[in-house]
Structure 1
């Protein structure tokens, strides 16, 4: 009887990236930046002022960051990671809320409008007040250039 185990073949482990090179989710963006920067999850957690297991949850898509964490995440990444249109007022308003970490309530307070109006406008309903429309556009244009576009 012949022993089939007498020979073994050594196979190299395939070189699989530890992250998605074209991140789609906020967790994938964080993971890519962290690995490329040779940072631990603990180091990123310290920068973002969250717990290490929070970073793990975001990277594994077990949870999503709260709006209040978005400004720190955007600073860490160095770019705006969300891929939504910004040609419309609704897109600009959403972009502003993300960059400043504003809830609808806080956004409405700062714009001196109702929470309902802020929510309707972000969903694409027409803005009734020309002065508020101008304010949103002006605020959006004041964002740093690296935050105005999604990376290619």
Structure 2
């Protein structure tokens, strides 16, 4: 797993970082996708601030679900028995 990967995300920032690492984005690339400063991505991922309003909506649209209500199970790291 990539360095900094959180297998038990709790906050929006945790989910955003998990998504970024799983999909090979740099923080800079993620900032371009979400139309925010690179430092904003850092603050969200390190839980220094929380995304609000329109930024929260952009994150939900970008990752494809709302982690506040839908906690998707990442099965690619599980072994099938």
Name the TM-score, length of structure 1 as normaliser.
0.44
Q: Which runs of 5+ in 2 are unaligned?
A: 74-81
Matched, 1:19 2:5: yes
The corresponding residue for 1:78 is 64
Runs of 4+ in 1 over 3 A off after TM superposition: none
Deviation per CA, 1:59-102, whole angstroms, max 9, x where unpaired? Answer: 0111111122111100121111104xxxxxxxxxxxxxxxxxxx
| Cα contact 2:27–2:38 (8 A) shared by 1 | yes
Q: Considering only aligned residues, what root-mean-square deviation do their CA atoms show, in Å?
A: 1.8
- Using the alignment, how far apart are the partners of 1:30 and 1:151 within structure 2? 13
Q: Which runs of 5+ in 1 are unaligned?
A: 1-14, 84-148
CA drift of 1:17 comes to 4.8
Count of residue pairs the alignment pairs up: 73
CA drift of 1:56 comes to 0.2
Name the TM-score, length of structure 2 as normaliser.
0.79
The corresponding residue for 2:53 is 67
Higher relative contact order (CA 8 A, sep 6+): 2
Q: Report the structure number with the largest CA radius of gyration.
A: 1
